[in-house]
Amino acid sequence: MASRYPDDIILMVVDNASWHKSKGLIIPENIRLYPLLPYTPELNPIEMIWDELREKFFKNNFFKTLSAVTDSLCEGLLFLENNHKIVQSITGWEWIISAFSKEE
């Protein structure tokens, strides 16, 4: 992600998984980690992204192969990558915007 958007600052919300706190974790210069409070998965914006993907690209679909599932997931992720306003509307919570503005 960092290399795809080298001119952007990326705020990555992380849960409390131990590997998110590892001393061996190498974080690119343009990525900032923002840890969630313990036991608050509902605050993780990726859950909203997954809901959007499930609703738009997986709802009422039957996939005959794992490859077809992967294709649908890739299609959905590319759609969201090219439609920033949708992502902003479902993840642009005030606490995220405030956290990001503190980084600047």
With a CB cutoff of 8 Å and minimum separation 6, the contacts of 82 are none
39-77 confidence digits (pLDDT tens):
777 778 888 899 999 999 998 889 999 999 999 999 999
Q: Give CA–CA dist 103/9, Å, rounded.
A: 9
> pLDDT confidence of 3, banded at 50, 70, 90?
confident
CA dihedral 97, 7, 90, 16 (to 10 degrees): -70
Higher local confidence (pLDDT), 102 or 75:
75
The whole model's pTM is what? Answer: 0.63
Backbone φ and ψ of 47, nearest 5°: -65, -35
Residues 6+ apart with CB under 8 A from 57: 72, 73, 75, 76, 79
Instruction: Give tens-digit pLDDT for 14-37.
Output: 877 766 677 788 889 998 888 887
Contacts of 7 (CB under 8 A, 6+ apart): 30
**Model confidence at 102, in pLDDT bands (50, 70, 90)?**
low
